[in-house]
Amino acid sequence: MRISNILGSFYEVIGIEVFTPTPNEKYVYDGEEFEVKPYLLDVYAQMPICPDFPRQLGVEIDGKKGHKTSKHQTIRDEQRTKDIQKSFPDLKLFRFDTKDLIGRGYVNPKTKKRHPILTDNEITAELGLKCTHL
């Protein structure tokens, strides 16, 4: 909800858990192949209030830092991003870690140092939402 609230200041249409059907020849369910895979974007925004912003913006919120729990999961997420961007070339896709958005922040497992959660300004900067027309 935090990301959607932030994007609400910059986009006219905001959606949560929006389907992005993408062609995927390897998607098999119950022994039958389907032509598309229904990916869900955590947050989707379109119709920007500033012409400098991407026309469509998608945000994935992952449970782990960089969503790198395993090599398989990393490869799957990278392929998912490629599939979505291939089908929706105007969509700019971003990923955030849950611990960067809510709670007490991210604890580095090696140094045990706690990093604070991102501020709204840091999130908008990472999303590239700086308009020279406003």
Domains of the chain: 2-127 (3.40.1350)
pTM of the model: 0.76
Specify the amino acid at residue 65: K
Tokens of 7: 């994007």
Q: Each residue of 4-21: pLDDT tens digit? A: 999 999 999 999 988 887
The pLDDT, as a whole number, for residue 67 is: 47
Decide if pLDDT at 96 tops 80.
Answer: yes
User: Which range (41-45, 50-54, 61-65, 69-73) has the least confidence?
Assistant: 61-65
Which residue did the predictor score with more confidence, 32 or 67? 32
**Cross-strand bridge partners of residue 33:** 28
Cα separation values, 62 from 13, 35, 76, 123, Å: 23, 26, 13, 15
Q: Which of 26, 134, 122 is nearest to 76 (CA)?
A: 26
Report the chain's mean pLDDT, rounded to a whole number.
80
Decide if pLDDT at 57 tops 90.
Answer: yes
CA 109 to chain centre: 24
